[in-house]
Structure 1
Amino acid sequence: MKISAESERQFLEDVFKAQKFNQKDGALLADTLVDADLRGISSHGIQRLAWYTSMIKEHTLEPEQQPKILKETPTSLLVDANKSMGQIASAFTMNKLIEKTKKLGVSLGVIRNSNHFGTAGYYSRMACKEGLIGISTTNTRPLVVPTNSLEAFLGSNALAFTFPADPHPFVFDGATAVVSSGKIQVLAKKGEQIPGDWAVDENRNVLHDAKTVEDNLSKIAFSEDRPGGGVLTLGGQKEVNSNYKGFGNSLIIELLTGILAQGSLSADTNTGKHDFSQFFMTIDPSLFGDLDVLKANVTEMFNRIRNLKHLPGTKIMIPGDREYKHYDENLIQGISIDDTTADELQKIGEKYHVTVPTEEASNLE
């Protein structure tokens, strides 16, 4: 079914209120999920609500707790998320960094004891709205098999980078693995096959059945006795396709998050504190030249790339183009909800006595 963005937002805010998040935090959480769905990133949208709800039940996250600053300098910030939702600690940190960077040109922050934070691009775009370059990263559950490994150790370890441009910012937002686990979850819910070589079994044989892979990833991510297999690094199955470069990218994120924050490695987030770590950086590009000139130059570069000769029936898109296109379309057409997620929302609505949005109630044209 399809629902409107506003009906999704209202439902989420009502659920988060019932779960004891304060109004400001509930509105932020709802906005991050609606924003992901509007941009066509359904892996990080409302389909995550059931998981968030289970984390509250297990006390992996505590809705009423707030992030705390552990150490601060004019250009840096170390934050304890204090088991609050990752989005809450991340937005708190990014807002602080934006203030610092407007004064001194550059700043960076690290968060420990956090949780899933939604899409990395959400926070980088916060910086870009203020004319700044934004960088956002996180480690995750253990999902990714290093080059030649038979077992998972790394997280999907997302990276987002934004740069001011027209008609919209440059936004690269993606896992440093070949894919995020959320995309496999969505395919499994729909009963669909994995279209590419994304995941392997305990013998490093490629798997294409999304339900089989999702079941295995759940065991890897949430149990102490982990089976083999997992998601591949960028570059896929073989070293000849440079999968060691994807491995290296994932390790960089691990160093900037779990190691720098002195939190858990992705490999260890399935036991103990179940904590994620995040890293953020903001840079004022006007340190190096007039912002309008820089924006004009980067916009010209992107337009030259978009207009290169290309394969018939294809289109060259700059990172961010697709998501902004989806955003505009989905505002009008509505957000698609798969049947499994719709059933999950129905159960959550009944549990918290919240009205679940329906296609008929969404007033879509």
Structure 2
Amino acid sequence: MMRVSANAEKKFLQQVFKKNGFTEENGALLADTLVDADLRGISSHGIQRLAWYERMIADGTIKPTNQVKVLKESLTSLLIDANGNMGQLASAFAMKNLIKKAKANQVAMAVIRNSNHFGTAGYYSRLAAKAGLIGISTTNTRPLVVPTNAIEAFLGSNAFAFTFPAEPHPFVFDGATSSVSSGKIAVLAKNQRPIPGEWAVDRNRQVIHDSAQAFKILSEAAFTEHQSGGGVLTLGGNQETNSNYKGFGNSLVIELLTGILAQGSISADTSKGKHDFSQFFMVIDPAFFGDVEVLKAKATRMFNRIRKLAHLPGTKIMIPGDREYRNYDQNLKQGVVIDPRTQEEMAEIAKKFQLELPEVL
């Protein structure tokens, strides 16, 4: 593993995105979303995604020069066409507009169609939190997840993020509605490390810990029209007796809010013909319900009570967001961690565009 400064990583990413035809403004936003993920310790959605983005730009899945289009708008709603460009661009545009709408009208929501991968869902919800608002962000993905009792992938990992104002930082829940995102398995496979938990199954719905085998299964499900079976498990794991149908239900809710509401592809069909992801965002102004500082204080007291509950020796109770904000502060000082395989991919990209690699700390 090596560490580089966040600024050096961001500069390198901006240069790569510029070489790929993105405007300086768009390249800066894209770089910020990846660096932000790495700073928070969410390496599955950081710079390790760059080589994947490069391949999608090369095959025309991502169209760097296309502009975001507003198809329909009201005082509280937006329907947006990402126009085949990166999901981060349309998503940031949507959230910034929803923040303005929610401040004026208490609540606002947006649906994005014809989009691509948008990074971490929490990035956009945190924009709302910074404005003192409640933020909700969701997306569908390529087919990766096997529904309850199924043996083939159909659902996306379908991320969901929710933020609420609090101290010393906002409450931030940001996670897949499946056991894990495919990016976590990709990082393990890149570096020849086993899967530590019951995350994925083969075509016989047997749990597998070989990350290379799991990544092969996920790649087949996500990028080909035919699959031999297997995929990521829903929340609740492999057995229906552990209530995995609840995770299945959560994933379906996201499919309905994204692919169905956007009239785009559901996750299962994004590997067949037209590739398009969809996103859903919602912003709520808590000031409608009471004094924001009072609400924030009540939320903070609840979280602090939970943190102080009796707990197992050697463990610590953490509220969603605690770990990521701690990682952010540490990595801002120490530099972000980049795994060996991603280092090799960065070197290949640097050579392609005749760029200098970030200096190792």
Amino acid at match of 1:182: G
SS state at 2:84 partner: coil
- 1:191 is aligned to 192
Distance 2:87 2:97 in 1: 15
- 1:307 is aligned to 308
Which runs of 5 or more residues in structure 1 are unaligned? none
Amino acid at match of 1:336: V
- 2:295 is aligned to 294
SS state at 2:301 partner: helix
- 2:357 is aligned to 356
Q: Is residue 19 of structure 1 aligned with residue 20 of structure 2?
A: yes
Distance 1:273 1:348 in 2: 27
Distance 2:80 2:354 in 1: 35
- 2:58 is aligned to 57
Amino acid at match of 1:304: R
Q: CA deviation at 1:85?
A: 0.4
SS state at 2:325 partner: helix
Q: Is residue 105 of structure 1 aligned with residue 88 of structure 2?
A: no
Distance 1:26 1:237 in 2: 40
- 2:90 is aligned to 89
SS state at 2:311 partner: coil
SS state at 2:56 partner: helix
Amino acid at match of 2:201: V
Q: Please list the CA deviations of residues 241-273 of structure 1 after superposition, one character each: whole Å capped at 9, or x if unmatched.
A: 000000000000000000000000000001222
Structure 1 stretch displaced more, 234-243 or 332-341: 332-341
- 1:284 is aligned to 285
SS state at 1:257 partner: helix
Amino acid at match of 1:149: A
Q: Is residue 201 of structure 1 aligned with residue 198 of structure 2?
A: no
- 2:240 is aligned to 239
Q: CA deviation at 1:189?
A: 1.2
Distance 2:163 2:129 in 1: 6
Distance 2:86 2:21 in 1: 12
- 2:229 is aligned to 228
Distance 2:125 2:214 in 1: 31
Amino acid at match of 1:345: M
Amino acid at match of 1:16: F
Q: CA deviation at 1:2?
A: 1.0
User: Which aligned pairs between 1:1-365 and structure 2 lie closer than 5 A?
Assistant: 1-359=2-360, 364=361
Q: CA deviation at 1:332?
A: 1.2
Q: Please list the CA deviations of residues 80-135 of structure 1 after superposition, one character each: whole Å capped at 9, or x if unmatched.
A: 00011000000011111111001000000000000000000000000111010000
Amino acid at match of 1:7: A
Structure 1 stretch displaced more, 133-142 or 59-68: 59-68
Distance 1:137 1:205 in 2: 29
Aligned residues: 360
Distance 1:336 1:291 in 2: 37
Which runs of 5 or more residues in structure 2 are unaligned? none
Q: CA deviation at 1:358?
A: 3.3
SS state at 2:136 partner: strand
Distance 2:71 2:301 in 1: 43
Amino acid at match of 1:112: R
SS state at 2:314 partner: coil
Q: Please list the CA deviations of residues 51-90 of structure 1 after superposition, one character each: whole Å capped at 9, or x if unmatched.
A: 1000100110110111101111110000000011000000
Question: What's the TM-score once normalised by structure 2's chain length?
Answer: 0.99
SS state at 1:228 partner: coil
Q: Please list the CA deviations of residues 151-174 of structure 1 after superposition, one character each: whole Å capped at 9, or x if unmatched.
A: 000000000000000000000000
Q: Please list the CA deviations of residues 179-233 of structure 1 after superposition, one character each: whole Å capped at 9, or x if unmatched.
A: 0000001111111100011000011011001111001111110011122000000
- Structure 1 runs (4+) greater than 2 angstroms displaced: none
SS state at 1:267 partner: helix
Q: CA deviation at 1:274?
A: 0.7
Amino acid at match of 1:242: S
SS state at 1:9 partner: helix
Distance 1:202 1:239 in 2: 17
Amino acid at match of 2:137: S
SS state at 1:59 partner: coil
Distance 2:159 2:228 in 1: 23
Distance 1:356 1:64 in 2: 25
Amino acid at match of 1:310: H
Q: CA deviation at 1:145?
A: 0.2
